[in-house]
């Protein structure tokens, strides 16, 4: 009938025809093309238009590639562990696996109604034991290589709700639920040593056909900087205080030094006149949380009574303690250059410490400094042999010069920190570790994987900082795989990122129960040629996936070390078609 479009009839006809006569067949002659969407979280609300905004691009692009006679890999799956399903379970008492399965069924129905051309034969679900067996397997391999380790780490803690909080649940330092002041609590966490890959994660960005914006965000996140560790002798003693600085070029302007109150030398630097004040300050700092210390607007501090010798000019610089320096950052000691650093300037003004300008615009010294001169460009002044040098040139050369002079050594630092990889939550992959009183932390033997997530009655966090799994004695109590004595299972679970850091590999061999992915299939179909998704994943998900891929490359699972050749952020769809890859 003219003018009316019977979508049910038309879609029904074509869906059936496509099913009967698949066009996308690997005949061994076609070149492959892997077009990937970021897989969704199967939310109870079903598919929303924002999902399809991304998927429609990959759908069009996939059809285009198929028509150009590529064998297309265009899969879909589910990133299904995480808090929303768990919170739903807490509220409604419905097991997360049940609500997740229902949500997946619904979204799949919606996607099929739109007639998107996903290859459902490749479907994966991160909460399926056949899938998370391999998520756990990767963890075991990392553990064996020393890349997964345990550490006491501070978490956000609400003393009134008696639970750990995610950063997103802390609003202005208060608990989102009960508005109590959030404190820090040290608990044992599993960490992944992503910092061991910092240099490769940075250098290999050059290989990637990704939007410059995303590369820049990853570069900043990794945050490589050059600097120097400079040794200051303590005046009249044998002690040496080492400071780390990214600005050794300003060493002539270092007029005082600040140590964290926990610094191993802190207490010993006091003199009979200052001892009482120093001890009191150290005690008071120990009562404060790191967050409070960093957020305190009003800087506090105490003079130790001792001096350090600036190695370049031999001048005595007073040594102070202040709790804005944290013991676990750098060496726990900093040299302060108030003329060129805002925080040091503020501290110098408050405690009436000398300010010496060493970088000057056009070589002219500022007469009455009312704020730090923080621009990187200028000419060196008040700096002995360095006078007249361009500061940007000196900044690059100073670390080497200081090392040659024997005053310290040049260093490379990264902002990137190791990844806190455990959650005290129920709905995640159990960490496949057994704790034995004699053998310590032991990996669950590979043939015993997966460690199944047990059923629980209560999904709520326990209030002790432990996961609800800790309450299931029959699950927790086991035997040590090494010595056979009674031992306990690890009760923390993995973060939601665990399953999404490698899922793109599994799509090409999703039913393999012997290996994560068959090497022949991996060589043939991987890596991903085009990855489409939101810019909100520019750092974490994309960085974690690159880290996992490099690790799996190192242990011989795949022969490439970057997972996604080309990246397209659908958020840029308006007017940025240069970056859609449409011309390639």
CB of 155 to Zn ion, least distance (A): 14
CB of 173 to Zn ion, least distance (A): 12
In this structure, what are the phi and psi dihedrals at residue 63, rounded to the nearest 5 degrees?
-65, -40
Rounded to whole angstroms, the Cα distance separating 133 from 136 reads 5
Q: Which is nearer to Zn ion, 199 or 446 (CB)?
A: 446
Q: Which is nearer to Zn ion, 182 or 312 (CB)?
A: 182
CB of 373 to Zn ion, least distance (A): 44
CB of 168 to Zn ion, least distance (A): 14
Token pair listed for 67: 């028509």
Q: Which is nearer to Zn ion, 236 or 437 (CB)?
A: 437
CB of 442 to Zn ion, least distance (A): 6
CA 571 vs CA 227, 273, 567, 579: distances in Å: 37, 63, 12, 11
Rounded to whole angstroms, the Cα distance separating 519 from 424 reads 35
Closest CA to 96 of 493, 565, 576, 553: 493
Query: Exposure of 164 by Cβ count < 10 A (0-12 exposed, 13-18 middle, 19+ buried)?
Result: buried
In this structure, what are the phi and psi dihedrals at residue 309, rounded to the nearest 5 degrees?
-100, 120
Alpha helices in 224-341 (DSSP H): 275-286, 290-295
Q: Which is nearer to Zn ion, 56 or 170 (CB)?
A: 170
Please give the residue ranges that form the binding site for Zn ion (CB under 5 A).
Answer: 158, 160-161, 175, 177-178, 180, 436, 438-439, 480, 482-483
Token pair listed for 583: 């011309």
Rounded to whole angstroms, the Cα distance separating 563 from 354 reads 53
Token pair listed for 551: 């690790």
Rounded to whole angstroms, the Cα distance separating 26 from 12 reads 25
CB of 285 to Zn ion, least distance (A): 26
Q: Which is nearer to Zn ion, 168 or 455 (CB)?
A: 168
Closest CA to 165 of 150, 191, 184: 184
Token pair listed for 554: 């190192």
CB of 490 to Zn ion, least distance (A): 14
Q: Which is nearer to Zn ion, 53 or 144 (CB)?
A: 144
Q: Which is nearer to Zn ion, 109 or 179 (CB)?
A: 179
Find where tokens 């995303």 sit. 214
CB of 204 to Zn ion, least distance (A): 40
Residue 294: how many other CB atoms lie within 10 Å: 12
Token pair listed for 189: 């966490």
Q: Which is nearer to Zn ion, 160 or 392 (CB)?
A: 160
């Amino acid at each position: 009938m003219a003018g009316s479009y019977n979508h049910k009839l038309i879609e029904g006809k074509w869906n059936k025809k496509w099913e009967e006569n698949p066009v996308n067949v690997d005949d061994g002659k076609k070149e492959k093309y892997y077009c990937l969407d970021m897989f969704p979280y199967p939310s109870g609300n079903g598919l929303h238009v924002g999902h399809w905004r991304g998927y429609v691009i990959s759908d069009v692009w996939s059809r285009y590639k198929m028509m150009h006679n590529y064998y297309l890999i265009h899969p879909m799956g589910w990133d299904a562990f995480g808090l929303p399903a768990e919170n739903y379970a807490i509220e409604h008492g419905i097991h997360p696996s049940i609500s997740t399965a229902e949500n997946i069924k619904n979204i799949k129905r919606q996607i099929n109604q739109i007639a998107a051309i996903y290859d459902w034969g490749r479907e994966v679900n991160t909460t399926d034991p056949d899938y998370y067996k391999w998520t756990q397997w990767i963890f075991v391999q990392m553990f064996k290589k020393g890349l997964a380790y345990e550490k006491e780490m501070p978490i956000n803690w609400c003393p009134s709700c008696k639970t750990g909080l995610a950063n997103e649940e802390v609003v202005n330092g208060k608990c989102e639920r009960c508005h109590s002041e959030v404190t820090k609590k040290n608990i044992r966490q599993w960490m992944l040593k992503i910092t061991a890959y910092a240099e490769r994660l940075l250098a290999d960005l050059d290989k990637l056909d990704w939007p410059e914006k995303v590369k820049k965000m990853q570069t900043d996140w990794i945050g490589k900087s050059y600097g120097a560790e400079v040794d200051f002798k303590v005046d009249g003693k044998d002690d040496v205080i080492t400071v780390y600085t990214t600005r050794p070029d300003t060493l002539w302007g270092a007029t005082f030094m600040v140590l964290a109150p926990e610094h191993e030398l802190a207490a010993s630097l006091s003199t009979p006149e200052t001892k009482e004040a120093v001890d009191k300050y150290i005690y008071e700092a120990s009562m404060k949380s790191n967050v409070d210390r960093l957020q305190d607007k009003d800087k506090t501090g105490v003079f130790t009574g001792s001096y350090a010798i600036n190695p370049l000019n031999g001048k005595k610089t007073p040594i102070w303690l202040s709790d804005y320096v944290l013991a676990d950052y750098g060496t726990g000691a900093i040299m302060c250059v108030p003329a060129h650093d805002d925080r040091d300037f503020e501290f110098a003004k408050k405690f009436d410490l000398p300010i010496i300008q060493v970088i000057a615009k056009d070589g002219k010294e500022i007469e009455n400094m009312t704020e730090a001169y923080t621009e990187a460009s200028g000419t060196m002044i008040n700096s002995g042999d360095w006078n007249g040098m361009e500061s940007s040139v000196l900044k690059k050369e100073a670390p080497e010069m200081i090392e040659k002079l024997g005053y310290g050594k040049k260093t490379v630092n990264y902002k990137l920190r190791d990844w806190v990889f455990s959650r005290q939550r129920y709905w995640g992959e159990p960490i496949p570790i057994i704790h034995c009183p004699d053998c310590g932390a032991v990996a669950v033997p590979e043939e015993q994987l997966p460690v199944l997530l047990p059923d629980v009655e209560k999904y709520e966090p326990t209030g002790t900082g432990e996961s609800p799994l800790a309450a299931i004695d029959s699950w927790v109590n086991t035997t040590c795989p090494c010595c056979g004595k009674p031992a306990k299972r690890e009760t923390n679970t993995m973060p939601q990122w665990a399953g999404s850091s490698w899922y793109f590999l599994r799509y090409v061999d999703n039913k393999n129960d012997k290996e994560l992915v068959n090497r022949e299939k991996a060589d043939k179909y991987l890596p991903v040629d085009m990855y489409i998704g939101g810019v909100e994943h520019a750092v974490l998900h994309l960085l974690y996936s690159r880290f996992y891929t490099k690790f799996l490359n190192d242990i011989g699972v795949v022969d490439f070390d970057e997972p996604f050749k080309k990246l397209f952020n659908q958020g840029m769809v308006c007017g940025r078609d240069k970056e859609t890859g449409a011309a390639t």
